[in-house]
Amino acid sequence: MQILSLNNVTKTFGGLVAVGGVTCGVERGHVVGLIGPNGAGKTTVFNLVTGSLKPDDGHIFFAGHAIARLKPHRIVSLGIARTFQTIRLFPKLSALENVLSGCHCRMVSGLAASLLRLPSQRREERLVLGRAMAELEFVGLAAQWRTPAGSLPYGDQRRLEIARALATEPKLLILDEPAGGMNEQETLELRELVGAIRRRDVTIMLIEHDMGFVMHVCDQVLVMENGLLIAQGEPQQIQKNPKVVEAYLGLDDEP
Amino acid sequence: MEFFIQQLTNGLAVGGIYALIALGYTMVYGVMKLINFAHGELFALGAYVGYSLLVTFDLAGALGPAAAIGLTIVMVLGLVGLAGHLLERAAYRPLRHSDRLAAVVSALGASIFLQNAIMLKWGARHRAYGADLLPNVTVHFAGQSYPLIRLLVFLAAVLVMTALYAFIHRTRLGLAIRAAAIDQGAAKLMGIDVRSVIAVVFVIGPALGGLAGLLVGLYYGQIDFSMGQLYGLKAFTAAIIGGIGNIPGAMVGGLLLGLVEALGAAYVSVAWKDALAFVVLIMILVVRPTGLLPERVAEKL
Amino acid sequence: MNGAARDSGLAGEASGLSRLAWLAGAALFLSLPSLFKAVGLSSGAYWLDVLNNVGLYTVLALSLNVILGLAGMFHMGHAAFFAVGAYVTAILNLNAGWSIFAAMPVAGLAAGLFAAAVAWPIIHLRGDYLLIVTIGIVEIIRIALTNDIFGLTGGPNGLVGIARPSLFGLKISRPQHFFYLIWLMVGATMLLFHWLENSRFGRALKFIKADAVAAEGMGVNVTRYKLMAFVVGAAWAGMAGTIFAARLRTISPESFNFGESVTLFTIVILGGSGSQRGALLGSFLVMGLPELFRGFQDKRLLVFGAALVIMMIFRPEGLLPPKAAKYALPEPWAGRHGPGGPGGPEEGAWPGGPGTGPGQADGSGRDEADGSGRDEADGRPAATGAEGSRAAPGGPSPFADGPA
């Protein structure tokens, strides 16, 4: 069953076609890699799926909902969470508070309950603190719960961003270059983490330039070039696809 | 029709003054991303320096009107420019890398300081430039007569704005200012001394504001120590309407605001005149959130 | 005492002491009216008036702090909401004979609705554009009041003869009565807003301030929360307006001009944006301290302006910047990673009840996943544990906010 499907999705920026009629789907439970040379339109696809950008044309369906016109926060509550290409944590707030931002959309306490600290609010707060700590523990950061996100080492910040996204209880997690800037050891750990996330029945879609990483963790790979989807399939097929080799693997040696 | 044309020309003259003040806001904002709340007070300072020279020292009596005005303009530009430079050194430079709101409060403090300094120096009462300061000449054009001073104020504003535009677009220093306005970091990497660009901007902007103060004194004949606040707010509004950081935008915004006020006071309501500027501001920003001629900004994801 | 402190954990003890100091200070402060009388201070009523003014501005600054300090919106028009509250109170009292305390919630509601109406079309404006628009709103309101809008506001002279409030038969008329009324309001406001700040609502505002795009991306309805912040701040300012009107019995447009908005803005930023203690200190400095220098007369404001510049240069983040929020972790986390937040009074009141173990609460998939990630997770805390304790709460945030 497809959890996400894009139907002829198009986005242009002042005449420049960033995404030109992309049609594709993501199977529930899969880890799907989105690859392609720089400027191919990968991040634009992510921004369209998460609602940061609105498509000029086409439809996006997620778990039975048409989401192309929804605001990002609505899409999050429907079950799509993301990380950003350049880390976008709240640097001055603690690791715990960062994760609590993800919990926000699964909480119900409103203005009055918050202002008057009603019993229901306190109960919810206690529960949520536990949930947030569990997410921190899941990525191995429970001990640093008080550390401001901005003073965590780079690799930890990446993982905190994932914890924050997981706290929204997503069905689909979108990771924009999760291994970017990581060293070999950290990349290895990230691989483990992706495996652990998928065991939680979360579908994953990721952009990554580290081909070893993509080939290792992904069930499906989508390849984009110049705003078009030029190939899709299992990693082994993609590696052999001459179009892909020409467009990407052969020419662009990403580190 | 006659009434309309009188209001129109009056609006253009006032709009020219707003535009001159707005240039100071917009230049400083462009380079420093700072609202110089003390700019209105520098404008008032210009009016008072002009008052001292023309009334207290009676330069017109000593040199004749034309030479007196010429010398006063030069002195106002120089002295208010200097004041602007000192202001930047004292109140803004130490805060260049701090939180933006700290700089805003520092600017508010500087504004309070300057306004009270002017009051202590020149007194809390109105000061009159005097009606006989300039020969009361009227110009006839297309069957109507206009006060010469109205024409001069408008011409002066247009002349200065044209000169500034040429300076910004035709000189190396102007190029440096534009570069620093787009991206300070990149400008620094290209070898531009951003600090001296800021210093230059903080001389030119205040000098033009001071000149506008002198023009107000000559046009209306009366000044007071708190005049900087309302003119400052209106001119800042003009800069925002035009798209802050954008020099032609400040000119467009200033002239537009002058016209709206003059015609609004004539045809809508005098009592609501001062509110009109803000009503126009809100209407424009609701439709165009970054003004009529905005700087190019894209929220990066 | 020392031994006990060591046993119970220094952090907890220190906060207990400071809580004691706060209580003692508050008690001393509340006995000021009697104290003034006891020592026969002839200007006692005057100084109580000054303190009342400080208290009123504290309430206003705390309400502005929700918008400016917590949500980070550049709002320099708070006097407009204050004005709506004061005028609604006066009109209800003078024209309809409402009592002051009956008018108070209506004044708050009116200010909140007004805020929602004017903020709705402009809520998306970026920083400085919002700033000038909010200034514009204050000016429009002031001019509207001056022009006797709807024939209700009395024009430039304003409204006179507003009744005194009375509470349980006690007529509140003298400075010491208002002293208790106003400072009770300060206390209630600080408590409620402290709760608000440390809740889902308050955190949402903090996320928006830190990075609105990321907040939206994490599921926060940014537009809605920005509007709500405006409504809450405005409603509170409106209720402060009620007290203002009742205290002076006369209100006129000039009480709500751009300068008042600037004063409130200054108090919040000078005290420390987002900090309640800062708003309190800022109100004392801006509204109280100058009264001590009446002798300087017309040079007072000159010095005040220069002092603002100097203070911002030396404390750009404000005098008392907000502390990191405290969290009392539920079991089983409470004991495992050092003491939770050293326990403000509210957190201390939490029943650390059993049955809140999150590990069990989450699905079975979690445990399995946890296990697989364990090998890398275990190495980390040891390596960075020192870092965790270095960043213990209570210290000021180590980040200087660079200009965007």
φ/ψ (deg, to 5) at C120: -55, -50
Residue of A191, A136, A129 lying closest to A161 (CA atoms): A136
Residue of C122, C139, C147 lying closest to B233 (CA atoms): C139
What is the C-alpha separation between B27 and B36, in angstroms, rounded?
10
- Which residue in A has a C-alpha nearest to residue C334's C-alpha? A130
Chain B nearest-CA distance from C71, in A, is 14
Tell me if A174 sits within 8 A of A81, measured CB to CB.
yes
Using alpha carbons, list the distances in angstroms from residue B103 to B205, C260, C270, C312.
18, 19, 11, 7
User: Which portions of chain A are predicted below pLDDT 50?
Assistant: 252-255
Query: What is the layout of strands, in order, in the sheet containing A2-13?
Result: A16-27, A2-13, A57-62, A65-66
Using alpha carbons, list the distances in angstroms from residue B277 to A216, B232, B254, B274, B282.
63, 12, 10, 6, 9
Q: Residues 56-115, chain B: which have Cβ within 8 Å of C? A: 90-91, 94-95, 97-106, 108-115
Q: How many CB pairs under 8 A join A and C?
A: 215
HSE of C305, CA atoms in CB hemisphere, 13 A: 23
Chain C nearest-CA distance from B147, in A, is 31
The full 3-state SS of chain A, as one line of letters, equals: CEEEEEEEEEEEECCEEEEEEEEEEEECCCEEEEECCCCCCHHHHHHHHCCCCCCCEEEEEECCEECCCCCHHHHHHHCEEECCCCCCCCCCCEHHHHHHHHHHHHCCCCHHHHHHCCHHHHHHHHHHHHHHHHHHHHCCCHHHCCCEHHHCCHHHHHHHHHHHHHCCCCCEEEEECCCCCCCHHHHHHHHHHHHHHHCCCCEEEEECCCHHHHHHHCCEEEEEECCEEEEEECHHHHHHCHHHHHHHHCCCCCC
Judging contacts by C-beta atoms under 8 Å, the chain A residues touching residue B301 are: 43, 47, 52, 84-85
Q: How many C-beta atoms lie closer than 10 Å to residue C18's C-beta?
A: 11
Residue of C33, C36, C44, C68 lying closest to C182 (CA atoms): C33
φ/ψ (deg, to 5) at A33: -100, 140
Judging contacts by C-beta atoms under 8 Å, the chain C residues touching residue B109 are: 266, 304-309, 312
Segment C98-138, tens digit of pLDDT: 999 999 999 999 999 999 999 999 999 988 899 999 999 99
Write down the mean pLDDT value for chain C.
Answer: 79
Judging contacts by C-beta atoms under 8 Å, the chain B residues touching residue C312 are: 95, 98, 102-103, 105-106, 109
Judging contacts by C-beta atoms under 8 Å, the chain B residues touching residue A85 are: 301
What is the C-alpha separation between A191 and A185, in angstroms, rounded?
10
**pLDDT above 80 (res C84):** yes
Judging contacts by C-beta atoms under 8 Å, the chain B residues touching residue A176 are: none
What is the per-residue DSSP string for C187-227? HHHHHHHHHHHTSHHHHHHHHHHH-HHHHHHTT--HHHHHH
Q: What is the pTM of this model?
A: 0.86
Confirm or reject contact between A61 and chain B (CB < 8 A). no
Judging contacts by C-beta atoms under 8 Å, the chain B residues touching residue C302 are: 112-113, 116-117, 120
- Which residue in C has a C-alpha nearest to residue B32's C-alpha? C403
Tell me the CATH number for domain A1-79+170-255: 3.40.50.300
Judging contacts by C-beta atoms under 8 Å, the chain B residues touching residue A52 are: 301
Cβ contact C398–A151 (<8 Å): yes
Confirm or reject contact between B4 and chain C (CB < 8 A). no
> How many structural domains is chain C composed of?
1
Q: What is the dihedral of CA C51, C52, C57, C58, to 10 degrees?
A: 70
Percent of chain A's residues with pLDDT above 90: 83
Segment C315-325, tens digit of pLDDT: 999 999 998 88
Confidence of residue C365 (pLDDT cuts 50, 70, 90): very low
In a domain, C211, yes or no: yes
Cβ contact A127–C325 (<8 Å): no
Chain C nearest-CA distance from B281, in A, is 7
Helix (H, G, I), strand (E, B) or coil at C249: coil
Alpha helix (H) residue ranges in C97-221: 100-119, 127-146, 175-197, 200-210, 212-217
The full 3-state SS of C284-342, as one line of letters, equals: HHHHHHHHHCHHHHHHHHHHHHHHHHHHHHHCCCCCCCCCCCCCCCCCCHHHHCECCCC
Chain C nearest-CA distance from B67, in A, is 36
Residue of B173, B193, B199 lying closest to B87 (CA atoms): B199
DSSP annotation of B255: H
* Domains of chain A by residue range: 1-79+170-255, 91-169
Confidence of residue C2 (pLDDT cuts 50, 70, 90): very low
Q: How many CB pairs under 8 A join B and C?
A: 146
**pLDDT above 50 (res C362):** no
Confirm or reject contact between B35 and chain C (CB < 8 A). yes
What is the C-alpha separation between B182 and B163, in angstroms, rounded?
21
Contacts of B24 (CB under 8 A, 6+ apart): B36, B39, B42, B43, B84, B204, B205, B206, B208, B209, B235
B75 alpha-carbon distance from chain centroid: 17
Confirm or reject contact between A52 and chain C (CB < 8 A). yes
- Burial (0-12, 13-18, 19+ Cβ within 10 Å), B74: exposed
What is the C-alpha separation between B64 and A38, in angstroms, rounded?
70
The enclosing H or E element of C251 equals strand C250-251
Q: How many C-beta atoms lie closer than 10 Å to residue C294's C-beta?
A: 8
Cβ contact B99–C403 (<8 Å): yes
**pLDDT above 50 (res C306):** yes
Confirm or reject contact between B142 and chain C (CB < 8 A). no
Using alpha carbons, list the distances in angstroms from residue A122 to A207, C220, C320.
39, 20, 28
Write the residue in B113, B117, B229 that is nearest to C309 by C-beta.
B113
Length reported for chain C: 404
| Model pLDDT, residue B188 | 87
Contacts of B162 (CB under 8 A, 6+ apart): none
What is the C-alpha separation between B10 and B259, in angstroms, rounded?
8
- Which residue in C has a C-alpha nearest to residue A87's C-alpha? C214
* Domains of chain B by residue range: 17-136+143-228
Write the residue in C129, C302, C401 that is nearest to B116 by C-beta.
C302
Judging contacts by C-beta atoms under 8 Å, the chain B residues touching residue A84 are: 301
Residue of C379, C382, C376 lying closest to A194 (CA atoms): C376
Chain A nearest-CA distance from C80, in A, is 23
The enclosing H or E element of B59 equals helix B59-63
What is the C-alpha separation between C73 and C266, in angstroms, rounded?
14
Tell me if B225 sits within 8 A of B118, measured CB to CB.
yes
Contacts of C392 (CB under 8 A, 6+ apart): A146, C11, C338
Cβ contact A196–C373 (<8 Å): yes
Q: How many C-beta atoms lie closer than 10 Å to residue B138's C-beta?
A: 13
Per-residue pLDDT tens listing for chain B (301 residues): 778 888 898 999 999 999 999 999 999 998 888 899 999 999 999 999 999 998 888 887 788 878 888 999 999 999 999 999 999 999 999 998 888 889 999 999 999 999 999 999 998 888 988 766 676 777 777 777 888 888 888 998 899 989 998 998 899 999 998 888 888 888 888 888 988 999 999 999 999 999 999 999 988 888 999 999 999 999 999 999 998 888 888 989 999 999 999 999 888 888 888 899 899 999 999 988 888 886 544 344 4
Question: Mutate which of C63, C66, C192, C200 to test chain A, going by most A C-beta atoms within 10 A?
Answer: C200
What is the C-alpha separation between C118 and C78, in angstroms, rounded?
12
| Model pLDDT, residue A250 | 52
What is the C-alpha separation between C402 and C404, in angstroms, rounded?
6
The enclosing H or E element of C38 equals helix C32-38
Strands A203-207 and A31-35: parallel
Cβ contact C336–A142 (<8 Å): yes
Tell me if C133 sits within 8 A of B281, measured CB to CB.
yes
Angle value at C-alpha C199, between C193 and C200, nearest 5 degrees: 130
| Model pLDDT, residue A249 | 54
Segment C127-181, tens digit of pLDDT: 889 999 999 999 999 999 999 888 888 888 999 989 888 888 788 888 888 999 9
Residue owning tokens 């462009």: B30
Tell me if C83 sits within 8 A of C241, measured CB to CB.
yes
Confirm or reject contact between B250 and chain C (CB < 8 A). no
**pLDDT above 60 (res C387):** no
- Domain of C135 in residue numbering reads as 47-314
φ/ψ (deg, to 5) at C284: -65, -45
| Model pLDDT, residue C5 | 38
**pLDDT above 60 (res C351):** no
Cβ contact C126–B114 (<8 Å): no
The enclosing H or E element of C238 equals helix C222-248
